[in-house]
């Protein structure tokens, strides 16, 4: 993938105004978005992608959809320590539920005690009863014993419900299991493209890697094992190197594309203009100087990348007139 590069200080208007290599004004001009040429768009001639520095380990915190959250203590971009409270569930309803369950348990215990007293009394009476009454006593005693067994079973069930509810109440506050940075808080459990997302996502503090995104149009440009250059957005003289370790095809998200090659009748928001987006990750050779959450550029490291200031274009973007008779 050897390319010749030429530095050109060209503005957007100049690029979109090129006629091509034919000097006739009537010739059809095929233009390309400057953002795509320079790498700011979804496709770039030098395969430049937007990226962000992330942690190698990501922790997702799920919420109980059946419970109401009373307080959220963190926000996106906030650093948290292990043990910090992230959010709390509404505990008032649980406290009322515990009181209700304990009342029901007390009623069942009283009922069981009453049944036991009745069984004891019937058993004593049966001893002095006539032979004709023995059978009726036996049937009644057996009925009371069956009723007591059912009541005792319900007591155990109620005790278990109380224990579970009290445990839930004790865990009304959800704490962070790791130290790191909160990268997202999803109130409805969905990201901006409608994909399922954890309530809180935390990037753990530790070793860094860089996350980029490819789509169906440019996914062939990146392969696992490919060498990459990571470039600072604020100072392009600062670069890092790494290798693509993963292209996550299992976690695609949907997004619209700004491709200029739409068929007649299609809009930027139509189904035909949508493209699946796939995250890929670059393992760094050295992360010194990078910060968690820092935005960077990614491009394939072919060993022939241009250096210096200005807008760099491949040589084939420029054309030259053949010399005339006068040699000009």
1 pLDDT above the threshold of 60:
no
Tell me what the mean pLDDT of segment 19-43 comes to: 57
**Percentage of the residues of the chain whose pLDDT score is greater than 70:** 73
Identify which of 21-30, 55-64, 121-130 has the greatest average pLDDT.
Answer: 121-130
pLDDT higher for 82 or 170? 82
Nearest Cα neighbor of 292 from 174, 180, 170 is 180
Nearest Cα neighbor of 38 from 297, 313, 319, 304 is 313
| Stated pTM of the model | 0.43
User: How confident is residue 271, by pLDDT bands cut at 50, 70 and 90?
Assistant: low
Q: Encode pLDDT of 236-249 as tens digits.
A: 889 999 999 888 88
173 pLDDT above the threshold of 70:
yes
Tell me what the mean pLDDT of segment 29-42 comes to: 58
Distance between CA atoms of residues 277 and 198, nearest Å: 19
Distance between CA atoms of residues 307 and 297, nearest Å: 15
Q: What is the pLDDT of residue 210?
A: 92
User: How confident is residue 152, by pLDDT bands cut at 50, 70 and 90?
Assistant: very high
pLDDT higher for 88 or 317? 88
Answer yes or no: are the C-beta atoms of 284 and 314 closer than 8 Å: no
What phi and psi values does residue 214 have, to the nearest 5 degrees?
-120, 165
Please classify residue 138 by burial: count the beta carbons closer than 10 Å to its beta carbon, then call 0-12 exposed, 13-18 middle and 19+ buried. middle
Q: Encode pLDDT of 179-217 as tens digits.
A: 888 888 888 777 666 667 789 988 877 678 899 988 877
Q: What is the pLDDT of residue 314?
A: 61
318 pLDDT above the threshold of 80:
no
Distance between CA atoms of residues 116 and 110, nearest Å: 10
Answer yes or no: are the C-beta atoms of 143 and 151 closer than 8 Å: no
**Max intra-chain CA distance, the chain:** 142
């Amino acid at each position: 993938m050897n390319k010749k590069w030429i530095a050109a200080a060209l503005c957007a208007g100049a690029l979109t105004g090129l006629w091509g290599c034919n000097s006739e004004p009537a010739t059809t001009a095929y233009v390309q978005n400057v953002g795509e040429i320079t790498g700011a768009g979804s496709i770039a001639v030098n395969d430049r992608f937007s990226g962000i520095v992330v942690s190698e380990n990501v922790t997702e915190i799920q919420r109980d959809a059946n419970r109401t959250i009373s307080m959220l203590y963190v926000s996106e971009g906030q650093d948290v320590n292990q043990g910090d409270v992230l959010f709390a569930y509404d505990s008032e309803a649980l406290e009322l539920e515990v009181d209700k369950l304990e009342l029901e348990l007390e009623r069942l215990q009283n009922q069981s005690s009453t049944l036991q007293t009745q069984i004891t009394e019937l058993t004593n009476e049966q001893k002095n009863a006539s032979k004709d009454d023995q059978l009726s006593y036996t049937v009644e005693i057996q009925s009371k014993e069956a009723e007591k067994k059912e009541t005792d079973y319900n007591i155990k069930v109620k005790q278990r419900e109380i224990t579970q509810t009290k445990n839930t109440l004790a865990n009304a506050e959800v704490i962070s299991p790791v130290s790191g940075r909160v990268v997202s808080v999803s109130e409805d459990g969905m990201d901006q493209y409608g994909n399922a997302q954890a309530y809180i996502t935390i990037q753990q503090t530790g070793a860094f890697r860089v996350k980029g995104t490819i789509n169906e149009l440019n996914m062939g440009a990146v392969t696992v094992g490919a060498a990459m250059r990571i470039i600072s957005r604020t100072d392009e003289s600062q670069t890092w190197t790494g290798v693509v370790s993963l292209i996550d095809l299992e976690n695609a998200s949907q997004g619209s594309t700004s491709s200029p090659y739409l068929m007649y009748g299609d809009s930027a928001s139509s189904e035909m203009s949508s493209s699946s987006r796939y995250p890929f990750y670059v393992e760094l050779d050295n992360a010194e100087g990078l910060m968690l959450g820092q935005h960077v550029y990614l491009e394939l490291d072919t060993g022939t990348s241009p250096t210096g200031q200005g807008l760099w274009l491949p040589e084939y973007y420029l054309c030259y007139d053949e010399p005339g008779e006068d040699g000009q």
